[in-house]
Amino acid sequence: MKRIISICIVVIAISSCSKEFLNVPPATGLSDDKLVDIPSMKALINGAYSTEKGAAAITTRIAAILVRDVVVKNDINHTQYFDHQISGDWGMFTNAYTVLGLLNTVAVKDVQSMEGTDAQKNAILGDMHFLRALVYFDLNNYFELPSTGLSVPLVLAPIGVNDQISCSRSEDIKNQIESDIEKARNYFKDISGVSNYNAATALAARIYFYHKKYDKAYVMANEVISSGKFSVDASVSGPFIVGNKSPEVIFRFIYNAADGIQFTATSDLANAYSTNPSQGFLSLNPASELSKLIKSNSSDARWINLFNVQGATTYIKKFPSKELDLPYIRLEEMYLTRAESNIMNTGAVSQQDMLDINKLRNRAHASTVINSVLSKQAALDTIYNDRTRELAIEMGDHYLNVKRLQKGIIKTAQEGGGIKPYSEYGDLLTFPFPENEVKIYGLSRN
């Protein structure tokens, strides 16, 4: 009953699997030999999604602290992340391998031979590959040690009592992520599960973009945009309003009242960014790059509607409720990804790239609409700035983008101010493994 990475077969009550993960009895009383039909596979998939939506909120919150987009108040437990003295991972590793345990149980089962329709089977397998790609994408981004290229263990089947695992190379994990997301797209061609074909294609665009495969990122982003199934919301606040099924949200983690308010995807974020001075413990860092960018255009609706200045504190209003569906991929990301991927792939700037940027600026009523085709570097700088403004405090995008481009981040006053180069912070932003896993498996990225 010791190993976190070992399989956690939980069909309904995922929360019962918290610290000991070897041969945990499933909440329904089902043992592994009973997990042989479509309903049990569906239950495993639902359990995996239910667990992962809480983790999505945690990575969103922690990422903003790491790149110092926000400052910590009312909570000393987060200061270490702001200072890059990271002693824990807020359960990211444990949660991820709980989800992977569920998904890998499905992966090794002969789903295609089970009684049911092809649509039911394809939906299950599509969701399995989609969510496994999503989980490993996050794990690799937060746990890879840049100086060695080693990351988390790549586990594609349930782990037994005597199995041994070790850290895998980041490139091997990236290859698996890309394989999984392409399989998800294939299974979702004619049927939807919890996720669907467009969500998988949008996630593929994100994956290839951050893997620096810009030709494929362009194709995927362009396919989502060209599908005509999504449109830019008239309001920048639209995706963050309870009950509003915004037309620009491609994939969301759904709020479920049955989970209990403390387990909703946005409860963690609503608490962190609460505008109540005595409750919220994160606010916009006035010295941050994000703060300077978002405030640089006073007519920008993203500044007016999604931030709130009270005295010396700037509150973030993107996650105002614990009962909100958590937007995970929005159409705006696809426009920005398409534009930058085209420039990076072709080495030139097109009129379409400018139209993609202006699509977002027009919606935000920004006064800086671009009227001519910019030079390559000016266009890339513009997209970086617009991406930072548009996707601020969402799904760790700025954290991922800063790392992708190896940009510097601001130093704290204690560090003397100025810019901290990637060479100084790259390894510092790597999360540690749980001590128990290191003891049992001897995990090392050095």
Q: Write out 342-390 in H/E/C secondary structure.
A: HHHHHCCCCHHHHHHHHHHHHHCCCCCCCCCCCCHHHHHHHHHHHHHHH
Quick: pLDDT tens for 331-375: 999 999 999 999 999 999 999 999 999 999 999 887 678 989 999
Instruction: Give me the chain's average pLDDT, please.
Output: 89
Lowest mean pLDDT among 264-278, 323-337, 428-442: 264-278
Residue 12 vs residues 46, 134, 380: alpha-carbon distances, Å: 8, 21, 46
Which of 16-30, 84-98, 257-271 is predicted least confidently? 16-30
DSSP secondary structure letter of residue 145: B
| Nearest in space to 428 (alpha carbons), one of 56, 96, 67 | 67
- For the chain, give the number of residues: 446
Residue boundaries of the structural domains of the chain: 1-70+83-195+420-441
Contacting residues for 366 by C-beta, under 8 A, at least 6 apart: 297, 299, 300, 301
Q: Of 75, 85, 79, which is closest to residue 65 (Cα–Cα)?
A: 79
Is residue 158 pLDDT above 60, yes or no? yes
Neighbours of 135 (CB within 10 A): 24
pLDDT digits (tens, 9 = 90+) for 59-81: 889 999 999 999 998 888 889 99
**pLDDT band (50, 70, 90) for residue 4:** very low
Per the CB < 8 A criterion, the answer to whether 340 and 221 are in contact is no
Question: Measuring CA to CA, which residue among 224, 188, 60 is closest to residue 232?
Answer: 224
Could you report the per-residue pLDDT of 257-281, keeping only the tens digit for each?
Answer: 776 555 567 888 998 999 888 888 9
| pLDDT-based confidence at residue 139 (cuts at 50, 70, 90) | very high
- Alpha helices, DSSP H, located in 88-169: 92-108, 118-143
Q: Give the integer Cα–Cα distance in Å for 328 and 324.
A: 12
Rounded distance, CA 25 to CA 34, Å?
12
At residue 194, what is the residue type? V
Q: Which residues, listed in sequence order, are joined to residue 169 by a DSSP beta bridge?
A: 150
Class of domain 1-70+83-195+420-441: mainly alpha
- The yes-or-no verdict on residue 173 having pLDDT over 90 is yes
